[in-house]
Amino acid sequence: MAWEQKLMRTVRLRNDQVPGTLASLLAAMAESGASVGGIKLLTETPSSVVRDISIYAEDGAHLERILSVMRANPGTNIIAVRDEVLELHRHGKIAMRSRAPVDSLGALRKVYTPGVAEVCRKIADDPTQARLYTGISQTVAIVTDGTAVLGLGDIGPVAGMPVMEGKAMLLDSLVGLSGIPVLVNTKDPDEIVDTIVNIAPSFGAIQLEDVSAPRCFQIEEQLMHRLDIPVMHDDQHGTAVVSTAALRVACNATGMDLDRARVGQVGLGAAGLAIAKMLMRLTANPVYGVDLSEELLQRLEQEGGVRSSLEAIMADSDIVIATTGVAGLIKPGMVRQGQIILALSNPNPEIEPEAAEAAGAAFAADGKSVNNVLGFPGIFRGAMEANASRITQEMLLAAAETIAELTPAGELVPNPLDKAVHRAVARAVAQKAIEQGISRGEYMPYLGD
């Protein structure tokens, strides 16, 4: 689907120090359809006031109309118009930094030559020591071929780099891992797998990102077979974890029994099929699914699901989850009284939550509320701290249950910036890895005692 996020600009303007100038400006902007965000006072003199005003527009043409209205307001002079999003991304959002200062010859000899030779020999004699004496155990490769970037689709790996940098920032800020974007300039699944296998010694885990379905299933499966480090396609499993957690919370809020509910999954791409698989593992009940792809329908059936239709799912399901990318696919007249509906496509859902609830849904939410940032940082941290050889469905379910348990009353999910939540997720994932016997059992400093 087309990317339809609103444009945001920061307008710096000087208003005459005349009563009513700002009020008339805001009224004119409102009439032009502008959405106003923050207003920040910068300087004030007896004759003028300088402010920054954040505005949101539907598109470029709408933005120009808003700016024209602002320029026409008596007593208003626009000084500058800034795109804060582009400014934030200038020269990238991440950089590699040294963890130790190199401020003397002594320090140089320790971190480089000749001191580093001793560390190299130690690892050569026992390769497992690399986990302790290098950053490998704290480093995640974030790999993309750019074929399924956000709602933009196949825009190529280089255009997907801002997303990869964002993921790296989240890994660092939320759980202290180093994420390294890796852009793969091929769409061939075998070439992608071989490339990742060949660079894997540099990393403690592999995070697949924005790889289109059904290729993503094959790529992940082959990597999990060929590597002995955690591999996870975030669009599949991160989304499934947070969606399952949100569904737990929604069921508790409405009094619905998830284990007895009939679940329909609309859209069986990367996220949709993973959600269906997780719910079937959790409840031992089939999920009814619909998709335009025969291959994806067959994959659902192979996992124990049942193919259906949109009409049948909307008519018969207690819970409907939609991940199609088709805005407005679900019409209000299709909603059944008492349903739980998670319409997760971004930026525009299959049905707006307000419209679904007005049509009779007991609970409805969209993808703005259900974000996989709550899942992948803690999942990777836990798997890597446990030195697990892989990420299992049981580890993912442990993450989902933890997120649901930590959701505050009245909320659908916890605050994604709450580091205590990510720490708890990491601990639950690590403990499950230990229980399953796939931990290679070293000290876990991040998780504490």
Asked whether residue 43 carries a pLDDT value surpassing 90, the answer given is: yes
What are the φ and ψ backbone dihedral angles of 352, each rounded to 5 degrees? -65, 140
Q: Which pLDDT band holds residue 427 (cuts at 50, 70, 90)? A: very high
Last residue of a domain, one of 169, 204, 229: 229
Report the domain count for the chain: 3
Last residue of a domain, one of 210, 229, 248: 229
Q: Give the domain range for residue 12.
A: 7-89
**Average pLDDT of every residue of the chain:** 92
Asked whether residue 46 carries a pLDDT value surpassing 60, the answer given is: yes
Please report whether residue 163 resides in a domain: yes
Starting at the edge strand found earlier in the chain, the sheet holding 178-183 runs 178-183, 139-144, 205-208, 231-233
Q: Which pLDDT band holds residue 1 (cuts at 50, 70, 90)? A: very low
Q: Which pLDDT band holds residue 2 (cuts at 50, 70, 90)? A: very low
Last residue of a domain, one of 229, 263, 288: 229
- Tell me, yes or no, whether 258 and 389 share the same domain: yes
Q: Tokens 């910036």 correspond to what residue? A: 417
Starting at the edge strand found earlier in the chain, the sheet holding 35-44 runs 35-44, 48-57, 7-16, 76-82
How high is the pLDDT of residue 4? 46
Rounded distance, CA 421 to CA 82, Å? 35
Asked whether residue 196 carries a pLDDT value surpassing 50, the answer given is: yes
How high is the pLDDT of residue 5? 60
Written as six digits, the tokens of 15 are: 């208003």
How high is the pLDDT of residue 449? 43
How high is the pLDDT of residue 113? 86
- Tell me, yes or no, whether 63 and 141 share the same domain: no
Give me the catalytic one of 167, 277, 288, 432.
167
How high is the pLDDT of residue 380? 97
How high is the pLDDT of residue 77? 95
- Tell me, yes or no, whether 289 and 220 share the same domain: no
Check which CATH number belongs to the domain holding 385 and give it: 3.40.50.720
Q: Which pLDDT band holds residue 99 (cuts at 50, 70, 90)? A: confident
- Helix then strand then coil, in percent of the chain rounded to 5, is 45, 20, 35
Mean pLDDT of 85-98: 83
- Tell me, yes or no, whether 180 and 35 share the same domain: no
Q: Is 122 a catalytic residue?
A: no
Mean pLDDT of 98-109: 88
Rounded distance, CA 313 to CA 319, Å? 9
Give me the catalytic one of 6, 40, 112, 331.
112
Which is higher by pLDDT, 98 or 424?
424
- Tell me, yes or no, whether 236 and 185 share the same domain: no
- Tell me, yes or no, whether 242 and 191 share the same domain: no
DSSP state of 149: B
How high is the pLDDT of residue 93? 84
Check which CATH number belongs to the domain holding 28 and give it: 3.30.70.260
- Tell me, yes or no, whether 259 and 206 share the same domain: no
- Tell me, yes or no, whether 405 and 264 share the same domain: yes
Mean pLDDT of 289-315: 96
367 CB burial (10 A radius; 0-12, 13-18, 19+): buried
Q: Is 167 a catalytic residue?
A: yes
Please report whether residue 123 resides in a domain: no
- Tell me, yes or no, whether 207 and 276 share the same domain: no
- Tell me, yes or no, whether 206 and 246 share the same domain: no
Residue 214 neighbours by CB distance under 10 Å: 17
What are the φ and ψ backbone dihedral angles of 79, each rounded to 5 degrees? -90, -45
Please report whether residue 430 resides in a domain: yes
Please report whether residue 95 resides in a domain: no
Asked whether residue 3 carries a pLDDT value surpassing 60, the answer given is: no
Rounded distance, CA 185 to CA 187, Å? 7
- Tell me, yes or no, whether 262 and 363 share the same domain: yes
Residue 212 neighbours by CB distance under 10 Å: 17
| Tens-place pLDDT, residues 245-300 | 999 999 999 999 999 999 999 999 999 999 999 999 999 999 999 999 999 999 99
Q: Which residues of 87-112 are buried (b: 16+ CB within 10 A; e: fewer)?
A: eeeeeeebeeeeeeeeeeeeeeebee
Which is higher by pLDDT, 97 or 68?
68
Mean pLDDT of 209-228: 95
Check which CATH number belongs to the domain holding 169 and give it: 3.40.50.10380
Instruction: Specify the range with the lowest mean pLDDT, choosing from 218-232, 249-263, 360-374.
Output: 360-374
Please report whether residue 19 resides in a domain: yes
Please report whether residue 119 resides in a domain: no
pLDDT > 70 fraction of the chain, expressed in percent and rounded:
97
